[in-house]
Amino acid sequence: MAECLPNYEASIYVGIVAPRNAPADIVDKLNQALNLALADPKMKQRIAELADTPLSLSVANFSKPIAAETEKWEKVIRVTNIKPE
Domain ranges of the chain: 1-85
Query: pTM of the full predicted structure?
Result: 0.66
CA distances 17 to 38, 46, 49, 54, Å, are 16, 21, 24, 16
Give, for 69, the enclosing helix (H) or strand (E).
helix 59-80
SS3 content of the chain, % helix, strand, coil (to 5): 55, 0, 45
> How do residues 21-77 score in pLDDT, each as one tens digit?
999 999 999 999 999 999 999 999 999 999 888 888 898 898 888 898 899 889 989
